[in-house]
Structure 1
Amino acid sequence: MTKVRKKRREREEEKAREAAERARKKSRKLADKVAKAADKQRKAAERVAREEERMAAKLAKKYYDVIYDAPVAPELASRVAGLVDGPVYQDPERGLDHGAYVPMVELFPEADLPVVQMSLPTLDPSGLYELGRRLAPLRDEGTLIIGSGFTTHNLRWINPRAGADAPAPTASVEFDQWAVETLERRDIDAILDFEEVAPAASEAHPRTEHWAPLYVALGAAEASGHANEVAVDGFWFGLSKRSWQFN
């Protein structure tokens, strides 16, 4: 009986070793598969990054060549500094970046309107809305408050070979439609909480700096009840150009 038990135990131990070896092989195989998938994803991301850098470099040269020599407005800059909460750094020597001069070129091509460009102190929706509320008195003084950006902005959608008028991605169309319907019914809470309630929010805005300026304009228009109308619509390389005018 002792020899039988010994052999039985030896067989069980051998089976256990074989099972452990199979598990190790399976684990190694799975790890290799995961590593290969991660490497494939990394290479795809690098290709996208290289394409974005190439496009950015191409666009950057074009935009650095743009001259929009609008008059400076030091008195308006001081007025803005007095309305906002906290210290404001002013740099009168810094020119306008593309976020400011692109809409201004279209609106006022003669560059005869004094312009103050203001950087966003945060991307927090509520904080920017409150900033807009503080700037609201400027509207009554004849100042045009512009929040510049795309309604959808995902550079991975841009395909130069397809052309600027190629059909927009579904995510861009869905978010654009949600935005126009939500602003039409003046659901400001939903706009502020867009990352949670809007369709395809993370695809439409992997980063939110193109959407965030809208909050400033909304805050400034609070006194008018956010009455608005669509001033621009359509898509450009899959990005929604939709813009609103608050009355």
Structure 2
Amino acid sequence: MTDEINRQRLDGKVAIVTGATGGIGEATAKLFLQLGAKVMLVDIEGEKLTATLERLTPLGEVGGSIAEAADEQSIAAAAATTIEQFGGLDIMVANAGTVGTAKPVELLSVAEFEATIRTNVIGIWLSMKHCVEPMKARGAGSIIALSSVAGCIGFPAISAYAASKHAVYGLVKTAALELGPYGIRVNAVGPGPIDNQMMASLEHQLSPDDPAAVRSQLEASIAMGRYGTNEEVAQLIAFLASDASSYCNGSIYMADGGFIAA
């Protein structure tokens, strides 16, 4: 039993978490530190990154790098900084994302659609791309990309978001086939409605006058009758990052309270 418990630990592993100042990102970084990992926080918002670093520094070895998810130069620099500071890379959590603009298909502009795809697809692809060689050098690695329940089903008014999250799962399945022979596992996590700022933004976009009504409607569609927490999603991410999930590869794992079970 001790060996099984140890496989859930992240001692000696080095992780990058993008979108690290968001609810899921910070909860994941915090849990990783508690499990013994060294963590590089990556985010575009410098002030928030500084504040997050201040909160997490007492928990372990943590660094920060300002980067825009879909900008290759800054993501490459964040990976290089991680290797310079911590000596390698074992885990990539490609978490940076946006819900984008909530509008019917015919009302979305090209710019609005492209902005969501750029962050949610190109950003995750770049995170994958720039962790492959460092992980090959280690002989193993785990890449976890954040998809969504909207990566498996349709969701009215957020077509760009749903398209982007479906694309993430396609990236994951393809990368898993390519990288499996190198000991690198690639998986996706699909959160359902989570009690955080991104979900609050979506609620407000869908119903500016009564966002609480959107939440009530969504909660009624969840088997467990409630939104999830950032920490619950982080627990699933940590499992996929750890050796306890050593035979998990190329799949999407839901943290949705039964939202898509029907």
The alignment's TM-score, normalised by the length of structure 2, stands at 0.27
Q: Say which structure is richer in strand.
A: 2
